[in-house]
Amino acid sequence: MDLLCYPAILSFFGNNVKNTKRLIEQLRSENIATLMRVGAKAADELERLSVTSERYEAVRKLNARQFTDLYRKNIESGVPFDQLVDELIKT
């Protein structure tokens, strides 16, 4: 509801209504910008969690021998464990 469309309210409150409306618009803009930043961070975090979840599921399904081989390959080659699991997922 636009308070400025009611002449009686506008004449009673004068510029305070205009100033309040400007303040509300400014706060709305700032809140939208903040929500967009938070939303972008949340999307990044969801992507990271999705990758982490895929890795966990892949490792969880390995039997003891497969896990030992993967772990040994990590230790002997120096290739990061996550990278080895990512390669495992792709195959």
Whole-prediction pTM: 0.59
Listed in sequence order, the residues at least 6 apart from 62 whose beta carbon sits closer than 8 Å to its beta carbon are 70
70, two tokens: 């993967």
| Confidence at residue 30, expressed as pLDDT on a 0 to 100 scale | 79
The string of pLDDT tens digits covering residues 37-74 is 888 888 888 898 999 999 999 999 999 999 999 999 99
In whole angstroms, give the CA distance from residue 30 to residue 55.
Answer: 38
The string of pLDDT tens digits covering residues 4-39 is 555 555 555 556 666 777 777 777 787 788 888 888
Torsion over CA: 75, 78, 81, 86 (sign): negative
